[in-house]
Amino acid sequence: MTTPDPAAPPLRRRGERMRRAVLAAALDLLASQGLAGATVGAVARAAGVHETSVYRRWGTRENLILDALTTELDSALPVPDTGRVRDDLLGYFSALARLLSTAQGRALLRLSVEHDDTLDDRRGAYWSDRLDRAAVMVRRGAERRELAADTDPGLLIEAVSGPLFTRVLLSGAPLDETLVRGLVDLVLEGARTRP
């Protein structure tokens, strides 16, 4: 049995630090060089760890990339719970618009539409999973009777997020607060005149 060095950080903390360094390096490489540039070798070199350590922890390049993307977006996109559905939606989609306005956010989104047979199956599910987490804001709004009981949570989330994604991917039009507010109010209030 070896005696642990009391000055060394506990193993779990060191493992977590290594994980963070590798995921940060993966995100940097994804954003700067795209999917093709984020090889296990390049990520390991940028993070200053051995390639074998990366394979030991993540098994495959695919798992590494998905872990990096998931960790990044889930921390950049907390789901608010203010007690009012409009405030929750504005908070969430403003954060998404800000994320998609950064070079890294755009790169992550573009990456999702790049062709790569090894990643295709799970990347579709990846964005769906992120948006599924957002649906709880709508369900809470329906429970509080702010929204009609038959509101489709996923559909409402798609109607606001779809235009943001589309602007980044297709038109290049800017994402700003006015756009987010306009979309949220449109899906909440509707465009039809009231009798």
Contacts of 52 (CB under 8 A, 6+ apart): none
Q: Comparing C-alpha atoms, which of 61, 166, 73, 170 is closest to residue 117?
A: 61
Distance CA 40, CA 51 (A): 7
Say if residues 40 and 23 touch (Cβ distance below 8 Å): no
State residue 172 phi and psi, 5-degree precision. Answer: 75, 5
The interface mask with a copy of itself, positions 86-115, x = CB under 8 A, is: ------------------------x-xx--
The interface mask with a copy of itself, positions 20-39, x = CB under 8 A, is: --------------------
Min dist. Cβ of residue 33 to a copy of itself (A): 13
The interface mask with a copy of itself, positions 171-190, x = CB under 8 A, is: xxx-----x--xx--xxxxx
User: Is the CB of 67 or the CB of 158 nearer to a copy of itself?
Assistant: 158
Binding part of the chain for a copy of itself, among 3-11, 76-84, 98-106, 144-152 by CB under 8 A, reads 144-152
Length of the chain as a residue count: 195
AA identity, residue 109: L
Distance CA 176, CA 85 (A): 20
Residues near a copy of itself (CB under 8 A) are: 110, 112-113, 123-125, 127-128, 138, 141, 145-148, 151-152, 155-156, 158-167, 169-173, 179, 182-183, 186-193
